[in-house]
Structures are given as C-alpha cells and as structure tokens.
Structure 1
Amino acid sequence: MAHRMRRTVVIEDPDPMPYETVMHEAALRISVAGRSAMRAQLRRILEMSEAEHVTVRAVPFALDDFAGAGCTMVYLGGAVSRLDTVVRDAPHGTAFVDSEAQLEHFRKLFNRVRAESLSPERSRDLIYQLSEDL
C-alpha cells in the first residue's frame, strides 16, 4: 500500500513533481519473480517513461569507462539545494546524507552518471529490447 501511495504522489499526481532516474542495465536484468513479472515491470517502466515529467535513462553494460558509481543512490533535490538529501543503501543499513560537502560530491556523481547514460530515447529502446528478449 505505501509503495502505491508513494508512486501516486511522485509520478501519477495531477500536478506531479519532475522525476528522473538512471538505472544500470544490471538492475533492469535482475530476475526477482520470473519472466512474466520481469516483462511486466520493464513494460511499466516504458509506460511511465512516456510521461512528460518522467525521465528514464539507462547505463548499458556496453558503456566503456564507466566506473566509480557502483552504489545505489537516491538524490532528492528541489528548488532549495541546501535541503537536498541523498539516500544510500549500504551493508550496514540506509544512510541519509545532507551535509553540503557530501551533497556536492553526490551532485557531481549523479551529473556524471546522467551525462554518460543513454538518452531517454535510447534508454527506452534498450528497455524495450530487454523486455522482448524475455
């Protein structure tokens, strides 16, 4: 229930917030509940990526020289950058980062990952191909 409520507020709200995600191809290939569930999840990502306020980018395995960003990171940002927060999953639990020095590091990291990822159109092509391969 909480997941559906969160998705409604972030993505499906009548006045939604901009939402941008960059996913590595490995995350798109992880099998959690079988082929049909994976296909449905990939197609749902494709469907949501068509929304005007949603940007989906992928980092394919084939991308050369992509290193240093191998951690899960959620960057929550807004109009007042000093209120931004980064959420990271780590072996010892979830960590929230909000100091300006650390935020600057993660802003740069996210911007680098975004710049090196596929365009939204090419990302959709990759996700579509992955769903067809199942």
Structure 2
Amino acid sequence: MRPSTAPTLRQQRLGAELRKLREQAGLTATGAAQLLGLNQARVSNIELGRYAVSADRVRAFARSYDCADEGLVEALCAMTGGRTRGWWEQHREHLPAALVDLAELEHHAVSVRVCLVIHIPALLQTVDHARALFQEVAPPLLPYEVEHRLSHRIKRQGVLYGDTPLPYTALIHEAALRMGFGGPDIARAQLRHLADMSERDNIAMHVIPFGGGFPGTGQSVDYLAGPVPQLDTVQLDTHHGCEFLDARAQLAKYASVLDRMQEAALSAAASRDLIHRLAKQI
C-alpha cells in the first residue's frame, strides 16, 4: 500500500496517539518495528498518518506497548481504516483542509463546547448571517468561494439534528448578539433562530453579559470531546486559519478557561430571555 501524501487530521491524530503509546513504553521506532515484525519506515509512516492501519494492528501495537487502557485502545480502533468518505470530502478541493478536518472532527465528537465573543457560533448561524460574515473576509472571497463556504457551514450544522444529535454547549458574549451583521432584518432573524435553538434538548446556550471580565476574551474556542478524554481536541479560530491542539496540558488549560467562562455566563433561561429582548430592540 502506498502512503497517503495528504493524511487527514483524524488520520494524523491516530498516528500521533500510537507514537505517544510507543514513547510511553520507552521504545524507539526501530525497537517497536522489531517487536511488531515491521520495518522502521512502516512504523514511522503509520505514526505520521500516511498509512491506513487496521483495528487488529492497533491492538497489536497496544499489546507491544503494554497499554492496559482498554477504553483508549478501542477508541483508537474506531479511528482505523482509510479516509472516511463523509460529506465533507466533497469540499476538500475548494476549502482549506483545516475547515474540512473540523467538519470530520465534529462528526465524530461525542460533545462540543464553544465560546465566541464577537461572532455567533458557526453551528448556530442562519444562512443569511453566515453569508454576511463571509462577505467580510479579508482578502475578499469570490462569489463562488462564498457559496462553497456557506454550503460547508450549513452542512456542518447537521450534527445538531437527527436521531442522535450532538450535545452542544454554546457560550456567547452579549457583544456577539449586538453586532448586527447583515443589517437589522438578518440580525433579528439570527437572534430569533438562537432563541429557537436554545429550546432544543441537546443544546445548552449561555450568554456572558456585559459588565465583567473573564478569561479567553481574545479568541474563539471549540472544545471537541472524543470518546475518551485522551482524544479530546481544541480548535482555535485565528486570522491565519484553524489551529488544532491536543496536548494534555493544552486540553486541561482550555477546559479550565471554558469552565470559568461558563461561570461568568447567565443561566440558560436568563440567556434566552436576553436574546428575546435584544431581538425586540432591533
């Protein structure tokens, strides 16, 4: 099998977790290859996400590395095989790879917690609101690029619906509710959509009101929980694109930041009341 020249973030993460298990066992790539009956290049390519690996192979790696964490091993086995041909793959030629990888992460997450200060969370945006945002991107997007990004964003929202909707916690600053992107009609419709979405059983929406400080004001944070804590991922939205973090210390830091942000927020009921009041004021 030829190695993949462009492994997805999910494939890279599987390889990275296998590398962590090897390093925790005190083995070099060469030593692991000898235990597994492989050559060193194959082990290195698997750890880089360049080779697809079977669930049986992952279990063999885990045995060789004396990993007794069955939950982690089974979660890694669920990540095996070739590239998942989800709906997001049709956008890979038209969008930055990080946006496509984010959609795949959301698809496989067991829950998501997100906080934004200026923007409404992507999964809670209306079509018109999202289009207004994309039209403000610098440098400007071409019309067909706007439509590609819009189609991708709306399809991402599918994780919030269906028979097993994704548990989703949104921490939204009052500033984001008052920005008014797209003009009064679009802003009013966006707020009403937020209020409607806050009624869904799988969505917990909390507004952080004006009047107090809290950590994390300078960036948006998405915390995507994996099937086991070791596979959690943090996504930061920056001007140069998406940044993904998975080191244990980073995960702990951002989980703590989100906890403190939620402590600064209103209750779900008070947040919904505020959204309704703001919609009437527009």
Q: Same fold (TM over 0.5)?
A: yes
Matched, 1:69 2:219: no
Q: Which residue of 2 aligns with 1:126?
A: 274
Aligned alpha-carbon RMSD (Å): 1.3
Q: Which residue of 2 aligns with 1:60?
A: 209
Bigger radius of gyration: 2
Q: Which residue of 1 aligns with 2:236?
A: 88
Q: Residue type of the partner of 1:38?
A: A
Structure ranking higher in strand proportion: 1
Matched, 1:14 2:156: no
Q: Residue type of the partner of 1:33?
A: G
Give the one of 143, 152, 157 matched to 1:2. 152
Q: Residue type of the partner of 2:277?
A: Q
Larger mean CA deviation between 100-109 and 73-82 belongs to 73-82
Large movers: runs of 4+ above 3 Å: none
Give the one of 99, 107, 115 matched to 2:263. 115
> d(CA) in 1 for partners of 2:237 and 2:277?
29
1:110 shift after superposition: 0.5
- Are 2:214 and 2:261, in contact at CA under 8 Å, matched by a contact in 1? no
| Identity score, percent | 36
Q: Which residue of 1 aligns with 2:191?
A: 42
- Are 2:225 and 2:233, in contact at CA under 8 Å, matched by a contact in 1? yes
The higher relative CO (CA closer than 8 Å, separation ≥ 6) is in 1
Structure 2 gap segments, 5+ residues each: 1-150
Q: Which residue of 1 aligns with 2:70?
A: none
Q: Residue type of the partner of 2:186?
A: A
Normalised TM-score (structure 1): 0.91
Aligned residues: 131
> d(CA) in 2 for partners of 1:46 and 1:128?
7
Normalised TM-score (structure 2): 0.45
Structure ranking higher in helix proportion: 2
**Any idea what the Cα deviations from partners look like across 1:8-63, whole Å, max 9, x if unmatched?**
2x21122112111001111111122000000001100110110111100000113x
